[in-house]
Structure 1
């Protein structure tokens, strides 16, 4: 749309039908563009959008939902038939060359779609609404340039003046100029003020662009590939599970990591798949004080959601598998001060906070924001680690995050046409160099995950039970598992394959719950020895509880090696007795104490014989006197 378009415009894309194989998100972008271009709206150039995947070593346009799961990258590209205007990507540590190839491959397909939209436009021949350009007074601009150009140039020099002071000087100069406008009728005076402010802003932008393109100088005096000073600190908040403070120039992010259980995971209602649980959540907060403003603290806006999603994509593919680390992870990034690239500071701080919490990341991750300023005659400059003014007045904001091995996330917003794939390749190469430098600094603070999680985080106790025992653990209406949770204060997750995760903030509670789960789900095995409890006596023997809910019969003939007349001569209710499982028939378990006594006696005899001593006889163990042989 032209800059002077002031009418509120809404384009709505709705999913009316989905085949469960093809994601409609890219079609929504293309259809919105086609609708706007083929209407009377002053939409100047149609765009198209495609997704590019890397499946089995081959670049694929708009991979299916199934192929996306196998793809090493997921790049969404939007552009005209002349140039790319937007890129969003998540990837599994792919190389810069692979990303550049994907951009080139995707743009070739975009050209075909744009051509089809233009054919539709030619058939419809809509009459476009005429929009006058914003009025601009060249005379006012030249007057400001002559009288105030040098002062404005000095004010925007952030090498000489810190950001806050620079902004104050610029605002003061603007107010000084506005006050000099002569008194006129209100309408004429308001128009003069608007034209003066517009000329002042144009002058400020042109000073920046002339410095970068011709004087080869950045506002803060840095080299084009120079990163601002970086400092890192971890573990600074003693009570949280993991924390990190990442500072780059005048941008600072405080990242905190909290570990939880499956109950803390976010449930997702997906279009194509069954509901899933999201175990990693990154929340980005941008409070107004971070840029010296006073505003109401409301819910997150589009900017916060977008920045958080980008940082989340950068870190998500580096997390350990859920089977190896079944915790829910919530990472919160609070921006304490901002002068550009706060989303990439979130990536760096988030990576450190995850490792500080003991999350075994595949590798540390860092992010960098790149800028591009394009002039006439193919002149351009690529800037590393752009600050606020460079982001505002530059032609491209190019954020790249990744590890030493490759890229994990990418976002690009381009304000002008004419940026070539070759420029993007150069920007990617320069971003890699910067990313490696940042990782060098981060790894001096913390190079790998801590070996133990925080003492304040829930401890994990893990065991595997037979699948047919899951019902026993849950109990009727969940009665059994609820009783364990209430008695021990733990949280328990039971997976379909029989894996049981017990989370406890205290070791004692976790140990108690673990034993209770083992007791409830244990199964007797033939030939194994158990320490049981005598729970009932009968004339023909004793019933011994091996574990809660599982009893076995210790027949009178299996109590001792000698013959006994009364079970009560050997055992009493409540006695702890070692027994061996002889057989299992259905729910009937036959036990023997005599077999263990015999094995112990034979073992002692062998030991005594080997040592030259006399054999030692054993009349038994456990409760009661041995009695005599008959």
Structure 2
């Protein structure tokens, strides 16, 4: 029934299998990719015609993770997969970025690439499997895809590169790299990474290692295509437009050359728009049988602009704004811009500007993430916003685009490796980057501004981090690498190569290209030039703030951490959370406790933190005989008063231990709620505590000399004699064997009973009980 074609490859210690012909047979191309026990289905469909007037390539990639793949039911009210998560959006971009440049110029048919994770084994990351499945599906679909591409994840541990480590191990205590690379047989197409300050040589080695491993996957995809590929689409021959291009050059070439020598972005755009209008007026004034004829000619204006800019750079090294190829635009960095934020910075580089703020929160501000791996919590967030006014345009506002998500994650990866350990700095950290001007590399401005705002907030990062965007002009074997590219250089160039890192090494590398790949030589040059640029930017940042402030902002909550024994967790929480709620209500501080006994106490008031810590210490610490404590009278009975002196611990101050002289009634000395100072006299084998007030100065808390004669030893006296050693609180006379008289709260009559004098035996002092 099924004409199934399959290829397999042993790769990185697991079997990679690509299958087609069984599932989604009505799609133009469908591949089921299995790696380990992770399974991803990718289906490709393409429109057979182009919409009238369309002049762009509508490629859309959707990556979706099915919760059933991991044996889980989605959370939320509807219990089904909803809008794309951040991870799904980022993975969709991972697939789109290396595939888009491999479609021929002028191909405008709409294409959908849909990848769905159907099984997840908890170890094999599905993003790499999805990239491979998408490449294979496009290759066999018959659409004009100049692939295939391969993809690989690389880790770096103990000086050795690892192929396809899990996300959990790639950046653990010993892991130093999480790198994703997509490549064709001959060149690297896309790089995305987070690193723990790797050198340029180590990072380049990782990229080349990934490229070599990707070639193995490309071979398997070619084998599948030889078995199952559909007939390639017939494309219309590309029209030779060189004559029209030269015609345009004669009309507006000089105007564009002059425009692209204007440094100011707005003035330059006005001049370019004037040149375009001049070309339109020229063609509209001619007689045309078909208006689309001259409209097609006008589309070549962009090509002419590209030729002028690129030719100038390659010929004499002259850039749009007059800079040298390795020169960085003027930089201004300001910290403490906003008075009520916890940390803020304004970072301006040329005509690119970002306002970055850092907010410090407690554990309850952590981001909960519900994914295939289960529930997880993120205590570091970075959000990037790109409003339309930043480029002087009118547009949609308030919607988070895929681009904003991707740029924010790039900056997150750049800063995450230098954060302090969470146990040392137990705050939830959120960086907000609002781009207020943009003319190239706003994501790297976010890295620089975000780093400064964290230092301004008092986050003790290991080292400052800066970032720079590099560009490329490539014509045959001739190329130029550009430092700190402008927006126009990005649009008209061949590469967007972003590097972030500290003075010690690289923390993040991202590369996207518009050509069919770049070589090791170009990457080496770009990394070397970026290193010098990063150092220059770090110097300018240091002039504003050289390191983290000595303490967190006065507007930020204070957090203190304490460790208790796991066996005491139940005591601190209490039945149904009663105790911990009482601590929070009484002290005003927030208290969080985890399963390991780590307690975080937070408040903007240091006294509230101290009160909560003291309360918890009172619950978890053991009372010491002979030590003096402060306490509160919580209950008064006929024979004394119960004092809460260590959080949840109560002890009895017998009426005879309230003062050195005789006390008739406890209420003559103390009242409920009164603060008193007590000394621990005795702790019996049941944990009952006997306290004394009379041996402690109630004003100073200092211990007083005990002038009372020592008590007679508790030998083997008859019960009646022992009962007569002390006068009971009320009744319970010296004859222990006589009538008990009226005792405590629940006392009664007795003849030499164990509870002579009455009262609850659990609330009786130890010396009034039988051994």
* TM, length-normalised to structure 1: 0.89
Secondary structure of residue in 2 paired with 1:381: strand
Question: Which residue of structure 1 lines up, in the alignment, with residue 754 of structure 2?
Answer: none
Contact 1:539-1:566 at 8 Å conserved across structures: no
Question: Which residue of structure 2 lines up, in the alignment, with residue 614 of structure 1?
Answer: none
Aligned partner of 1:458 among 557, 568, 583: 557
CA shift in 2, pair 1:590/1:158, >3 Å: same
Moved more, 34-43 or 568-577: 568-577
Q: Give matches, 1:269-308, under 5 Å.
A: 269-272=370-373, 274-308=374-408
Aligned partner of 1:435 among 523, 527, 534: 534
- Alignment pair present for 1:248 and 2:352: no
Contact 2:279-2:298 at 8 Å conserved across structures: no
Give the deviation of 1:474 after TM superposition: 2.5
Give the deviation of 1:136 after TM superposition: 5.1
CA distance in 2, matches of 1:192, 1:593: 103
Q: Give matches, 1:33-72, under 5 Å.
A: 33-68=135-170, 69=172, 70-72=174-176
Question: Which residue of structure 1 lines up, in the alignment, with residue 299 of structure 2?
Answer: 198
CA distance in 2, matches of 1:157, 1:575: 80
Aligned partner of 1:414 among 504, 513, 516: 513
Question: Which residue of structure 2 lines up, in the alignment, with residue 175 of structure 1?
Answer: 277
Contact 1:528-1:580 at 8 Å conserved across structures: yes
Give the deviation of 1:521 after TM superposition: 4.8
Give the deviation of 1:103 after TM superposition: 1.0
CA distance in 2, matches of 1:192, 1:211: 28
CA distance in 2, matches of 1:200, 1:565: 104
Question: Which residue of structure 1 lines up, in the alignment, with residue 325 of structure 2?
Answer: 224
Secondary structure of residue in 1 paired with 2:418: coil
CA shift in 2, pair 1:567/1:524, >3 Å: farther
Secondary structure of residue in 1 paired with 2:473: strand
CA shift in 2, pair 1:475/1:565, >3 Å: closer
CA shift in 2, pair 1:590/1:490, >3 Å: closer
Give the deviation of 1:295 after TM superposition: 1.1
CA shift in 2, pair 1:581/1:530, >3 Å: farther
CA distance in 2, matches of 1:581, 1:479: 30
Moved more, 422-431 or 137-146: 137-146
Secondary structure of residue in 2 paired with 1:114: helix
- Alignment pair present for 1:579 and 2:679: yes
Give the deviation of 1:556 after TM superposition: 6.7
Aligned partner of 2:127 among 18, 25, 28: 25
Question: Which residue of structure 2 lines up, in the alignment, with residue 625 of structure 1?
Answer: none
Q: Give matches, 1:146-161, under 5 Å.
A: 146-159=250-263
CA shift in 2, pair 1:212/1:539, >3 Å: closer
Give the deviation of 1:113 after TM superposition: 1.2
Give the deviation of 1:182 after TM superposition: 4.3
Contact 1:526-1:584 at 8 Å conserved across structures: no
Give the deviation of 1:595 after TM superposition: 7.3
Aligned partner of 1:102 among 184, 194, 206: 206
Question: Which residue of structure 2 lines up, in the alignment, with residue 353 of structure 1?
Answer: 453
Q: Deviations over 1:508-550 (max 9, x none)?
A: 4444444444455554233432234555666766544323542
CA distance in 1, matches of 2:238, 2:585: 69
Aligned pair count reads 599
Give the deviation of 1:10 after TM superposition: 1.1
Q: Deviations over 1:355-386 (max 9, x none)?
A: 0001111100000001111122x211111111
Contact 1:580-1:593 at 8 Å conserved across structures: no
Question: Which residue of structure 1 lines up, in the alignment, with residue 64 of structure 2?
Answer: none
Aligned partner of 2:651 among 552, 559, 574: 552
CA distance in 1, matches of 2:589, 2:227: 68
Question: Which residue of structure 2 lines up, in the alignment, with residue 392 of structure 1?
Answer: 491
Q: RCO (CA 8 Å, sep 6+): is it higher in 1 or 2?
A: 1
Question: Which residue of structure 1 lines up, in the alignment, with residue 430 of structure 2?
Answer: 330
Give the deviation of 1:394 after TM superposition: 1.1
CA distance in 2, matches of 1:240, 1:204: 44
CA distance in 2, matches of 1:333, 1:251: 13
- Alignment pair present for 1:528 and 2:630: no
CA distance in 1, matches of 2:122, 2:270: 55
Contact 1:532-1:576 at 8 Å conserved across structures: yes
Give the deviation of 1:468 after TM superposition: 3.4
Q: In proportion to residue count, which structure has more helix?
A: 1
Aligned partner of 2:525 among 426, 429, 442: 426
Aligned partner of 1:7 among 109, 113, 126: 109
Question: Which residue of structure 1 lines up, in the alignment, with residue 442 of structure 2?
Answer: 342
Secondary structure of residue in 1 paired with 2:197: strand
Question: Which residue of structure 2 lines up, in the alignment, with residue 369 of structure 1?
Answer: 469
Q: Deviations over 1:250-289 (max 9, x none)?
A: 00011011111111110112323x4221011101000100
CA shift in 2, pair 1:618/1:53, >3 Å: closer
Question: Which residue of structure 2 lines up, in the alignment, with residue 260 of structure 1?
Answer: 361
CA shift in 2, pair 1:472/1:141, >3 Å: same
Secondary structure of residue in 2 paired with 1:146: helix
Contact 1:243-1:255 at 8 Å conserved across structures: yes
- Alignment pair present for 1:504 and 2:608: no
Contact 1:583-1:591 at 8 Å conserved across structures: no
CA distance in 1, matches of 2:644, 2:445: 60
CA shift in 2, pair 1:548/1:73, >3 Å: closer
Question: Which residue of structure 1 lines up, in the alignment, with residue 337 of structure 2?
Answer: 236
CA distance in 2, matches of 1:393, 1:460: 50
CA distance in 2, matches of 1:92, 1:133: 49
Aligned partner of 2:192 among 74, 79, 88: 88
Aligned-residue CA RMSD (Å) = 2.7
Contact 1:398-1:412 at 8 Å conserved across structures: yes
CA shift in 2, pair 1:145/1:537, >3 Å: closer
CA distance in 2, matches of 1:507, 1:559: 34
Secondary structure of residue in 1 paired with 2:290: helix
Question: Which residue of structure 2 lines up, in the alignment, with residue 494 of structure 1?
Answer: 593
CA distance in 2, matches of 1:328, 1:32: 37
